[in-house]
Amino acid sequence: MKKYLSTETLTLAAIFMGIACGVWLPDAMLAFKWMGDLFLMLLKMLIVPLVFASVFVAIVSLGSGEALKNLGLKAFGYYFLTTALAVTAGLLVVNIIEPGSAHQLAGSAPVSQPKEHSVSSLLLSFVPANIFASLSEGRIVQVLVFVIFFAVAALHLEGKKRDTLSGFFDALNDAMGKIAGWVIKLTPLGVFSLIGYVIAKEGLETLYQLKDYVIAVLVALFLHALVVLPLVAYLIGRFNPYTYFLKVREAVLVAFSTASSSATLPVSIEVSETKGGVKKESAGFILPLGATVNMDGTALYEAIAVMFIANSFGVELGFSEQIVIFVTATFASIGAAGIPGAGLVMMTMILSAVGLPLEAIGLIAAVDRILDMFRTSINVWGDLLATKVLNRFIKSGSGPEATEHDLSGRRAP
């Protein structure tokens, strides 16, 4: 009986109950929103200290700038490969299904002129001018950049000073992991409230109005998540991705209900270490990095959305424009923050690259939140696979603190 009442099973049941109550009891679900907000706030409370501590500990545990460089290069190589495959899957499916026709323009939601995002402003936004401002505003990419410098600098300190720092952050990391474990117990309630609220507010009918587009996005996302990504993970990482999924599915369910990779991060780190058998050097470094730069679901979605918009405007986008989409969708997914709706905002980068009006995002805004839930799940699933794949290339206990701290992982599975 206890097995059937595990948090994972309850969370899955909560998703279906949330959808049902969102459809049939919308007023109750709107009133119950506070529960989801509370769950989200508890997760968000953990993000900054957890990212800081886990990345610091992971890098110091790796033991040298050289080991970090090796892992970092492998991570970026893997991210690039899977993101490229995701955009390709998106373009392939959208060229087959061809969603969008001129009449759809009539139903577009009015939006104010959105701000344009350029590649150079994106690169500059990665660097923190004031780390305390970045910490207090929760700018994860900037925190990551700082903590990478900080941890590499720590590796260059003499033994005693380095151990003082790493002992502190190791303890902080474990304490945050404990809180994450408690918050995870609230997942079923949080998920129920978050999903019920979205369905009550958005309704499922909007999905039907843009059904070709919704189908194209979902088909491509499922193709990438169930076939492409597992195959790549198996070939490079040599593990069974489907049994791994069963162990870490909690994080994917949280991603689905929160539509935020960043908010899911505490759960991803916790379940991949405690249930997925991932070393903390891998989970602690690869997951925060992935949550901010590796977004396969978003990249794929951007490619389909821009093609759909072009079709609706009666604009033909040929092979060369699709190459531009390929490159800009990749950058847009790297630049998108791990928060709800970030992918929609980054669409402006691609629209301006192919010469479509920025207000055109109004066309797809109505269904964005629900599609965001699916693409965020794929973003997080991609990160969970990446950390398990790269785990294979890490020698545990290679860091300088191996002698002082237990580097075998946070807790036994």
Binding mask 183-222 for ligand ASP (x = CB under 6 A): ----------------------------------------
Residue 264 token pair? 């899911």
Which residue number is nearest to ligand ASP in terms of Cβ? Answer: 343
Q: Give the C-alpha separation, 137 to 133, whole Å.
A: 6
Residue 249 token pair? 């599915």
CA distances 322 to 68, 155, 304, 327, 351, Å, are 35, 44, 11, 9, 12
Residue 259 contacts ligand ASP per CB under 6 A: yes
What type of residue sits at position 145?
V
Measured from the CB atom, is 187 or 298 closer to ligand ASP?
Answer: 298
Query: Smallest gap, in angstroms, from Cβ of residue 149 to ligand ASP?
Result: 25
Per CB under 6 A, which of residues 344..373 are in contact with ligand ASP?
Answer: 372
Query: Smallest gap, in angstroms, from Cβ of residue 231 to ligand ASP?
Result: 22
Task: Provide CB contacts within 8 A for 342, sequence distance 6+.
Answer: 298, 336
Measured from the CB atom, is 335 or 399 closer to ligand ASP?
Answer: 335
Residue 339 contacts ligand ASP per CB under 6 A: yes
Measured from the CB atom, is 90 or 340 closer to ligand ASP?
Answer: 340
Please select the residue that binds ligand ASP; options are 328, 376, 387, 391, rule is CB under 6 A: 376
Q: Which residue stretches of 336-400 are H helix?
A: 342-353, 362-365, 368-391
Size of the site for ligand ASP (CB under 6 A): 16
Per CB under 6 A, which of residues 270..309 are in contact with ligand ASP?
Answer: 295, 298
Query: Smallest gap, in angstroms, from Cβ of residue 234 to ligand ASP?
Result: 24
CA distances 133 to 117, 151, 291, 334, Å, are 22, 19, 20, 22
Q: Give the C-alpha separation, 384 to 252, whole Å.
A: 9
Q: What are phi and psi of 407, to 5 degrees?
A: -100, 15
Q: Are 338 and 255 in contact (CB under 8 A)?
A: no
Terminal Cα distance for the chain, rounded? 21
Q: How many CB atoms lie within 10 A of CB 212?
A: 16
Measured from the CB atom, is 220 or 394 closer to ligand ASP?
Answer: 220
Please select the residue that binds ligand ASP; options are 89, 220, 334, 342, rule is CB under 6 A: 342
Please select the residue that binds ligand ASP; options are 336, 351, 363, 385, rule is CB under 6 A: 336
Binding-site ranges for ligand ASP (CB under 6 A) = 259-261, 295, 298, 336, 338-343, 372, 375-376, 379
